[in-house]
Copies of this chain bind each other. A is one copy, B any other.
Amino acid sequence: MVYCDGESLKEKIKTFSNFGDTGNGGITRLSLSPEALEARQEFVRRMETLGLTVVSDDMANLYATLPGTEDLPAILSGSHIDSVKRGGNYDGVLGVLSAMEAVETIIREKIPHKHPITVVIWTNEEGARFEPAMMSSGVICGKFKKEEMLASEAKDIAGYTFGDALGKSGFCGDMANRISAENCAAYVELHAEQGPVLDMERIDIGVVEGVVGMINYELVFQGQADHAGTTPMKYRKDALWAAAKGLEYLHEKLEQLDEELVYTTGKISASPNIHTVIPGEVRFTIDARHKSGEVLRQVVEIIEDIPKKLEGCSVSTAPAWTRNTVSFSDRLVHVVAKTAAKLGYTSRRMYSGAGHDAQYICSLVPTTMIFVPSDKGHSHCELEYTPSENCEKGVNVLVNTLLEIDSIL
């Protein structure tokens, strides 16, 4: 087995945390912002110093390639370097730094490999400034139309589009540089878990089998807005009370389905939302995620079967959107699991509940992901943290996985 240099990895994490430093332990590094461009320049400088060739495609996805001993498609690894507002120093960037560290280890240890190894930075994964998330991996995988993406307007500056930011970035390259099923053999993305499972269960490595499917519904409870002081309880049609009963109904049914199912009511609004008026209308969302399409079908059935009348109020449901489960390459998943075991690390198979560029890339080439723990599950906040020893273990799994893929493909 090969081992990375933990100190070198720590230095990378420390240095890149300066680009967009909020001063509170986190970063704000929106896609193609000055801070993100600085981080990209640092990436290019370091990769070129190591002798890699750096190119970008027409969505500013950035590829740094270490040649292999044979003329084969590349093995790809990386992630994104953009963050949400006041995000952390691990989400995304850790996958890029880990791939850089893996390549550095291979060079330092002079390990021969047949395939070129490419470190990638995907542009605008977060969608925090320009929607949607996973924009550029989505474009090259045909999930989004490029022209529509170029017109995506910034949330912070009216009239300023993703296309404008791309043009000014200096990183807009040639469409021919996009990865494809022909020039790319496999993709492995290391990422912080963004959830509490590995941390709570004290497990080193998450062997990611795919990204769970999800459904999202909006429920509307329609009652009658009336005066809080003059309307006896028996004459009320209180939409909030109906919504509370509806939420309870859903939880009671859903908790019986499957232990791995997650369901969330994250958004609620009451109308008119005045303390002295009985709510006439309440709306809430319900988001449910599970790897099994059958379980999600049952969730939809439960949501749609909610009583159409609760506490005198009418209840209606409408699907907002749905996303199918994405399963990664069995063969690559197996390589990750085996590699972790060989290194003596504890691991568990799991599905990602969050979205990642890998979920699009896997439609193009065999793909998998490696998760490292997130302290207390914190994510998309300045508290986000993965201890150095966990990052190091992650890179050790990554570099050995890349080399194993090189040998078996």
Q: Could you tell me which A residues sit within 8 Å of B by CB distance?
A: 193-197, 200, 212, 214, 216, 226-233, 235, 238, 240-241, 244, 247-248, 251, 255, 260-270, 272-279, 285, 287, 289, 320, 352-355, 377, 379-380
Contacts and interface: CB of A to CB of B under 8 A. Distances in A.
A16 B149 CA distance: 57
A99 to B, nearest CB: 22
17 contacts: A193-B230, A195-B227, A196-B232, A216-B275, A226-B377, A226-B379, A228-B262, A228-B264, A230-B354, A230-B379, A233-B262, A244-B248, A248-B248, A264-B277, A267-B273, A268-B268, A275-B320
A100 to B, nearest CB: 25
- How many copies of this chain are found per oligomer? 2
B247 A229 contact: no
A378 B267 CA distance: 30
Residue from A212, A261, A287 whose CB has the most chain B CB atoms within 10 Å: A287
A200 B277 CA distance: 20
Contacts of A244: 244, 247-248
Contact of A231 (B195, B232, B265, B267): B195
Contacts of A230: 193-197, 352-354, 377, 379
Nearest to A285: B275
Contact of A273 (B193, B238, B241, B268): B268
A248 B251 CA distance: 14
Contact of A270 (B226, B248, B251, B268): B268
Contacts of A276: 264, 266, 287
B194 A227 contact: yes
B285 A264 contact: no
Contact of A227 (B260, B279, B380): B380
A195 B232 contact: yes
Contact of A274 (B261, B267, B275, B320): B267
A249 to B, nearest CB: 11
B229 A354 contact: yes
Contacts of A262: 228-229, 231-233
Contacts of A235: 196-197, 200, 377
Contacts of A352: 229-230
Contacts of A355: 229
